[in-house]
Amino acid sequence: MNGHQKRRREKPVNQHYLYINTGYAYPEQVISALTETLVRHNAKTKFKVSLVTVKGKTCGYAYVWIEKKDIFIKLTGTDSEGNKRVKYIPDKTWRKPYLPLEEALAKFELEDVYDKDNWADYAEHEDDIEEIRKSYYPRTIEVAVDSDFKLPKYTYYEEQEKHINLSYLDDSPEHGAFVVGAAHIPKKKPTIQQHVIFCNRVPTWITMDQLKTMFSPFASDYRTLHKKQVKRKIVTDTYPFIAINTSSNNTRNQGRRGRYRNCRNGRNDKYNVVYVTFDKTTIDGKMALLVCRKMVVVDPSNVNRSTTLIFNHPKKAANRTTFN
């Protein structure tokens, strides 16, 4: 056969999100590697790195949002449909049959016993002839194409070497490497609103305009106007919709994740609750959370003041409003 087999469909991906195996790398090392790679190839794109940690310790991987799809393709080695790019090369194990084609076909016709009036027999006979013909064409094999952009290795810091020395008994490596792939779409979870992300400890100095600027890049369409209801009025806005519940309204118990429960110590007077709503017909919300779970925001009027916002999906409940 000619080796051109049907390619297996990969899991669905969004061509703006990378999954990078980072090992012991720190966030700044991931950022530095991406920046160096883009500069080396004279490529320009915005990106955001979210290194996944648990209790301050790295999980060994990061999610990265990439603005431009063509850069995603060059970093992952995928095609425009999200499949791994492949090429076909000659199969060195292929050998041309020793009999000439016409002689091989004639020999087969003499030796093959089949009933011409039987449709199944005749179809099988024709298939065998086709296989003989194919065997006379040089066979090829499918191989994956390497990505165009390769991230450089990173040098271990002393603190990182302590972890490495525990893993390698003899010869510890001096550099770590990154493995880049596509981030797969999170599974659907019917108990939560995956098109919405929220944070219940947002300082009052953070404005709606700031939040809109922060999250608009993660919307598939941030230009088209859509209708929404605000205080019983129908208005138009672009995705994502931003809703701020001011501190004066945050006196109810917020449940397990509401860290200002019962207004303890009056902390909720300093914070608002923010909901960021993406188009529910898209996967924007659950993809955005991959890189927006932890957001550092600097006060534009006071660069010495900053805060870290922790976002999550709100749960669905009969007594809770569903954000559209």
DSSP for 262-284 reads GGGGGGGGGEEEEEEE--TTSSH
Say which residue, 159 or 226, is predicted with more confidence.
226
Together in a domain, 69 and 113: no
Burial of 197 (0-12, 13-18, 19+ CB in 10 A): buried
Alpha-carbon span 142 to 6, nearest angstrom: 10
How many domains would you assign to the chain?
A: 3
Residue 5 belongs to a domain: no
Count helices and strands (H / E) in the chain: 7, 15
Query: Using one digit for the tens of pLDDT, what is the confidence trace for 166-224?
Result: 655 455 678 899 999 889 888 888 899 999 999 999 999 999 999 999 999 999 999 99
Say which residue, 321 or 130, is predicted with more confidence.
130
Together in a domain, 249 and 128: no
Together in a domain, 122 and 207: no
Alpha-carbon span 295 to 220, nearest angstrom: 20
- 73-87, 157-171, 259-273: lowest mean pLDDT where? 259-273
Q: Which amino acid is at 197?
A: I
Please check whether residue 183 is in contact with residue 290, taking contact to mean a CB–CB distance below 8 angstroms: yes
Together in a domain, 285 and 211: yes
Closest among 144, 151, 145, 146 to 43, alpha carbons compared: 151
Together in a domain, 154 and 39: yes
Cα–Cα distances in Å, from 111 out to 102, 104, 121, 317? 14, 11, 14, 73
E-strand ranges in the chain read 13-21, 47-54, 57-66, 86-90, 140-144, 154-155, 175-176, 179-184, 196-203, 225-230, 233-238, 241-245, 271-277, 294-299, 302-310
Together in a domain, 203 and 247: yes
Please check whether residue 270 is in contact with residue 202, taking contact to mean a CB–CB distance below 8 angstroms: no
Burial of 201 (0-12, 13-18, 19+ CB in 10 A): buried
pLDDT, position 188: 87
Q: Which two tokens stand for residue 68?
A: 């431009």
pTM reported for the whole predicted model? 0.74
Break the chain down into helix, strand, coil percent, rounded to 5. Answer: 30, 30, 40
Mean pLDDT value of segment 6-17: 69
Residue 255 has pLDDT above 50, yes or no: no
3 state SS of 222: coil
Average confidence score pLDDT of the chain: 84
Residue 317 belongs to a domain: no
Residue 318 belongs to a domain: no
Provide the CATH number for the domain around residue 42. 3.30.70.330
Greatest pairwise CA separation for the chain in angstroms: 96
Kindly indicate the confidence band of residue 82, based on its pLDDT and cuts at 50, 70 and 90.
low
Together in a domain, 163 and 72: yes
Residue 290 belongs to a domain: yes
Phi first, then psi, for residue 135 (nearest 5°) are: -65, -15
Together in a domain, 281 and 240: yes
Together in a domain, 248 and 293: yes
Alpha-carbon span 61 to 211, nearest angstrom: 26
Together in a domain, 157 and 109: no
- How many Cβ atoms from other residues are within 10 Å of residue 318's Cβ? 4
Please check whether residue 185 is in contact with residue 12, taking contact to mean a CB–CB distance below 8 angstroms: yes
Please check whether residue 258 is in contact with residue 200, taking contact to mean a CB–CB distance below 8 angstroms: yes
Alpha-carbon span 40 to 18, nearest angstrom: 19
